[in-house]
Structure 1
Amino acid sequence: MKNFLPILFLSLLILCGCDRNSNVNLFSPDQDVQLGAQINEEILSKHNEYPVLNPSQYPESYEYLNGIVNNILESGQVNYRDEFAWQVYIINDDNTLNAFATPGGYIYVYTGLIKYLDREDDLAGVLGHEIAHADLRHSTRQLQKMYGLNLLLSLAVGEGSGLEQIMGQVVGNLTALSFSREYEREADSRSVDYLSGTDYECDAAKSFFIKLSEMEEQGQVPTFLSTHPNPDRRIQSIEARSQEVGCSTEPLDPQSYQAFKQSLP
């Protein structure tokens, strides 16, 4: 944490004269990277809460997942392709249908989500969405709105357990972060843009919401819907964006994805 403090003083000086609700992101991209790295370290240290699969024990699983991420990064559409870390981790929890991204390009995908989806394109759509959250720097923009001066002051001058407590709160908020509808729409739209530069079905992000809608119609309401409402509206928006872009909506062969799912515990 101390490595992050000197850089924050400049942000602190700027922030003192700014509205906490401003759309301007007062964190620099370098600060996104440093904050993300420290949050990643915190997440990896809490194995009971975040049971991350060890890449050395599941090399094939990680190779497959990194292949999807790299395909998206090579689309030519990712703004911080070379600046951010773009590290992806698998969290071993079959009961959670979720993925999340932290600042600087750290992405975490739950096995429950991977096994819930049917095709590589579907996961590429979700990963494109999470990459967009990092690439558009939604997390630090959201933190700025949530904490404002209090966060930066504490990080800049805090010491000991108080500072650790704040970092714990930041980690907890980021892993369960409920982005604004504006941010979710931006990430959905950017996912289409990313996938348009790949061989994936460019509107594949909608597949997850289609499955959720079907569950809802059957009287099953996944927990995910409590923080990510209006799946039907998001499906429509994703489809509309794909029509604007004019990209391919043909999916890839799903066989390799089934082998990927079987490689997980």
Structure 2
Amino acid sequence: MSGLILTPTERKAYELAARFAAFSEVTAVALGGSQSSGAADAGSDIDLYIYTRAGIPPNEQAMLIEQSGGAIRVDLGLSYWGGVNVWIDASTGITVDCMYWDVRWIEGEIARVMEAHQPSLGYSTSFCRTVMQSHVLYDPNGWFAALQVRSGREYPEPLRRNIVAQNHPVLRGLITSYLHQIESAVRRQDAVSVNHRVAALLASYFDIIFALNRVLHPGEKRLLAFAQRECAVLPTAMAEDVGCVLTEAGTASGAVVTHIGRLLDRLDEALEAAGFDLGRR
């Protein structure tokens, strides 16, 4: 890193990576999130991915935090999100979000998606994107670089079509589709349920949008901005329609159903223009 001018966030990330590198369990360390996607701002935290072949003992994880300067506050082993450690660095005030990913698990995830072409309900390729766009901080044997190559290969056409086939019917094509569940919730005036199902509908909607454009899914944040910046093919008035759906979802009014119908009609038009047979007559 000689000669490079690093921000405080980057310096802290490299310092932590060097400390993790001392553990025999660690195969690679990478910086992800907004710091690697180009979307970072003054309030962005450090998303550190620790790729391991065995677990690091919890007491040693806690000791590493203390040795790196300590923390104003620390939450260790958050099982709600897969054993994540989160702390606020005492010297800089930067929040560090430290995720431990098993080497065999992430290799399997990349193979499942990019090689076996298996989709999910929403976020189908988000792990692939996390790996592909991460900045390598420690990778002595080139394992992570090879994984990035596998993640960033040309977008497989079977995967693209499988994502659409998996996510499109649940929007409104099934008896138990998201739209039908939202209609039922509106009749009950159940605003909590409306919002719950709208979130699921939008997850599948954006999964389709990114697959349609052969773009790896960027994850949970700034989806409209990413879609507008990276996707050449978008439904007509997508941002306006999404905004209307979100506005009306909080009221549980019948208008939310109307806006979702328009949103999905325009998605179908974009898919059919791209050559997808949706079976509409």
**TM > 0.5 fold call:** no
The structure with the largest helix share of the pair is 1
**Which of 1 and 2 has greater Rg?**
2
The structure with the largest strand share of the pair is 2
TM, length-normalised to structure 1? 0.28
